[in-house]
Amino acid sequence: MSTLATAASTSAFTDHELTLEQFGRVAALLYDHCGIAMRPGKEGLVRARLAKRMRKLAIADFAMYLELVGDGPAHPEFGEMVDALTTNKTSFLREHAHFDYLRETVLPSLGPNVRIWSAGCSSGEEPYTLAMLLLDQSTMGPVRDARVLATDISQRMLTAAQAGVYPAEIMNDVPPEWRRRFWSRVDRNDEAGWLSATPPLRKIVNFARLNLMDHWPMHGPFDAIFCRNVMIYFDKQTQQRLVERFWSLLRPGGHLFVGHSESLTGTAHQFRYIQPAVYVR
């Protein structure tokens, strides 16, 4: 194919307009199946991000793409669309004040069995951080039965999390002792500088796909639930239902951690405020 033809083909994918009606259909699909509220004003973001998916699939028309994902989660591309339209930003020890509070206040008060849920775990940095904290003998004592349930709607993110392999450069905030104890160096794609979770770390974390809008198969109770930077995608009504469901799965005295950009202000709930983004049942 000539350079001119290639440029014309690429232009066909990038210049096609997303109509307001089509934006509304995307927003309705996200809300109906995932609870995600895609508000007016995000048309440019939706167009740009879905155009990348369309180029990969060689689809030049938004109508054709919407026909592809119109059945919702039944089609594999629906999950790819959700991934494209949401942000999977995370890091080890992100919002470290939460982990300080967990280590200093929550864990010392618990018995030998500890259950924590990382809801919206993305690529796994949060649940692995929790697992390292739970395995830290100076914090936990010699014997604990500790488990972290890590769930996410994105199968792509879960696959990356289950692999448990990360570039060493993103672990600068992880204490050197933890890196030595819980991670081993590996080569990946013939490149050095990668770290892999050790078996003791992997044993603590159980990954599972879960849409927070669907039935929850687990029964709890949990000692803590981390649902951070997830509810920002939901409207108040959906947040209300979600907070009520979290309450029912926490033991009395259990803690709910939300993102620092989130709060339960404006939501009717029974939680007691502890400190920014930390609540207790």
Q: Tokens representing 33?
A: 């199946």
Do residues 209 and 79 lie in contact, with contact meaning Cβ atoms separated by under 8 Å? no
CA distance 91 to 198: 18
Is 83 considered catalytic here? no
Close Cβ partners of 105 (under 8 Å, ≥ 6 residues apart):
none
Active-site residue identified among 47, 115, 144, 152? 152
Give the separation between CA 85 and CA 69, rounded to whole angstroms. Answer: 13
- Of the residues 49, 179, 188, 202, which is catalytic? 49
The answer to whether the beta carbons of residues 164 and 206 sit under 8 Å apart is: no
- The 10 Å Cβ neighbour count of residue 234 is 20
Residue 275 DSSP class: E
* Contact criterion met (CB below 8 Å) for 242 and 212: yes
113's CB contacts (< 8 A; 6+ apart) are 144, 145, 146
Instruction: State yes or no: is 152 an active-site residue.
Output: yes
Torsion, Cα 224 227 228 234, to 10 degrees, reads -150
What's the DSSP call for residue 73?
G
* Whole-number Å distance between alpha carbons of 198 and 206: 14
Annotated catalytic residues are: 49, 152
